[in-house]
């Protein structure tokens, strides 16, 4: 009777649709075809038992043999069904563990990527300390040891340039090294060490430094990111030349200025027209060399995708009205238009040089404004760069989890 009762309990199993395979992670798995098969066998067994007649009792051996055979058959079917469900459960557990392992690996990778974003290398930490030290040294020299600042500027430039050359050549940016900012720094070094008596060179250096270089911090968004060698170098290339000219004009002792920088000492007042003339001549020299050695001699390299300032600006400002107007011109007029725009930009930015030359306070406030702009750009870079990188990693992780979920459902 216990065997018959166990078979009857199969009828009490909940009837599930053929598509249902997993009822619960911790309960059991039903299989409609197997359960229906067992139900049919159990039903046939019960029907045979209930339809016994009095005559069957006269042959008890045959009755018990048939009964035993049916019991063994149904017991074997039940064991087979149980084993089948156990194997399915085991397979499901293996799939679940596999997916769980994949998820844990991807979470570890995500954590590694986030850790890489939020941490810096030893080189970056050292350069961060170096950059902070340079800001401190600049303050000390400008305030107390003005006669040494031009030496400090020269050494700093010569130390940073080899690194800039190396990194730009590796990245294919070497044509950027022919830009106006490097040309102006070289002019400043020539004035300091080779032609300190040249009034023409001094006026040109002052105009370029307080014109194009200073305002480039705003227009090109130079960022004072202290852990980045590249960005800090760019900021120093644009900020230290006007700071050097500021020290030579407003900070050093007049007697020392007369001996060491006679070209600056002879400039008692700013002649606006001479400023435009001298600056235009030096600008023409640079622009002529640039177009010959870069635009013409390296035309094939540029067509192959080598980056230049002109190509960068064409793409960067292609969305505004001025950029669309320049890009719509037939070749070679876009280059001519770019040259004229850049020259006009230099003349416009240097128009305030008479104020910076005559009034020390205004010149000081202007340099402070440029430094604050570079610092603000650096702070914005930190927030935007790390915030966007972290957001990108979160989106990537979400996509990977979605893919894992889809595999699990399949």
Question: Rounded CA gap, 36 and 343, in Å?
Answer: 90
- In this prediction, residue 19 carries a pLDDT of 39
pLDDT confidence of residue 185? 98
The predicted structure's pLDDT at residue 20: 40
DSSP 316: H
pLDDT for 376-410, tens place per residue?
999 988 877 777 776 776 777 677 667 766 765 66
Single out the residue of 243, 134, 139 nearest to residue 188, CA to CA: 243
3-state secondary structure of 224: coil
Summarised one tens digit per residue, pLDDT across range 175-196 is 999 999 999 999 999 999 999 9
Query: Is the distance from CB of 131 to CB of 236 less than 8 angstroms?
Result: no
Query: In 3D, which of 377, 379, 352, 378 has the Cα closest to residue 365?
Result: 352
271 secondary structure, DSSP code: -
For residue 238, the 8-state DSSP code is H
Q: Which two tokens stand for residue 136?
A: 């401190």
Listed by start position, the domains of the chain span: 2-87, 122-271+354-395
List Cα–Cα distances, 124 to 127, 128, 130, 225, 228, in angstroms: 5, 6, 10, 10, 6
| Residue-by-residue DSSP string for 346-390 | HHHHGGGHHHHHH-HHHHHHHHHHHHHHHHHHHHHHHHHHHHHHH
pLDDT of residue 116: 60
366: tokens are 């202007």
Q: Is 139 helix (H, G, I), strand (E, B) or coil?
A: helix
Which tokens go with 290? 């640039």
Write down the H helix ranges in 172-320: 180-193, 199-208, 214-219, 229-246, 254-260, 262-265, 272-290, 299-303, 309-316
Where the chain has pLDDT below 70, the residues are 1-74, 76, 78-79, 85-96, 99-100, 102-103, 106-108, 110-120, 390, 393, 397, 400-401, 404-405, 407-410
Q: Please state the pTM of the whole predicted model.
A: 0.70
The two most distant CA atoms of the chain are separated, in Å, by 142
What single DSSP character describes residue 13?
Answer: S
Q: Specify the pLDDT at position 194.
A: 98
């Amino acid at each position: 009777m216990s065997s018959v009762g166990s078979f009857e309990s199969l009828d009490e199993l909940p009837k599930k649709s053929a598509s249902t395979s997993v009822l619960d992670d911790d309960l059991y798995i039903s299989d409609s075809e197997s359960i229906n098969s067992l139900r049919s066998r159990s039903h046939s067994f019960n029907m045979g038992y209930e339809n016994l007649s009095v005559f069957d009792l006269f042959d008890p051996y045959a009755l018990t043999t048939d009964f035993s055979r049916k019991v063994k058959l149904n017991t074997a079917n039940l064991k087979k069904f149980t084993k089948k469900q156990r194997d399915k459960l085991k397979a499901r557990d293996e799939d679940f563990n596999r997916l769980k392992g994949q998820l844990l690996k991807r979470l570890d990778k995500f954590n590694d990527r986030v850790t890489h974003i939020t941490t810096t290398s030893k080189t970056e930490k050292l350069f961060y300390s170096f950059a902070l030290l340079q800001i401190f040294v600049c303050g000390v020299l400008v305030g107390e040891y003005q006669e040494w600042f031009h030496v400090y500027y020269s050494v700093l430039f010569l130390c940073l340039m080899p690194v800039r050359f190396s990194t730009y050549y590796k990245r294919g940016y070497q044509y950027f090294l022919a830009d106006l900012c490097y040309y102006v720094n070289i002019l400043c070094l020539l004035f300091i060490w080779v032609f300190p008596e040249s009034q023409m060179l001094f006026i040109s250096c002052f105009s370029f430094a307080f014109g194009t270089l200073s305002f480039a911090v705003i227009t090109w968004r130079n960022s004072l990111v202290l852990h980045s060698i590249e960005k800090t170098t760019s900021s120093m290339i644009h900020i230290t030349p006007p700071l050097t000219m500021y020290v030579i004009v407003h900070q050093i002792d007049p007697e020392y200025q007369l001996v060491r920088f006679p070209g600056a000492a002879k400039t008692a007042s700013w002649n606006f027209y001479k400023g435009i003339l001298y600056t235009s001549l030096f600008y023409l020299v640079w622009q002529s060399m640039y177009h010959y050695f870069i635009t013409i001699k390296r035309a094939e390299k540029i067509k192959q995708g080598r980056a230049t300032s002109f190509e960068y600006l064409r793409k960067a400002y292609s969305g505004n009205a001025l950029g669309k107007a320049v890009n719509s011109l037939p070749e070679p007029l876009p280059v001519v238009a770019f040259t004229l725009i850049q020259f006009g930009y230099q003349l416009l930015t240097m128009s305030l040089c008479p104020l910076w030359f005559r009034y020390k306070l205004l010149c000081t406030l202007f340099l402070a404004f440029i430094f604050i702009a570079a610092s603000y750009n650096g702070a914005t870079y930190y927030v935007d760069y790390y915030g966007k990188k972290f957001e990108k990693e979160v989106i990537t992780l979400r996509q990977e989890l979605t893919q894992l979920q889809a595999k699990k459902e399949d």
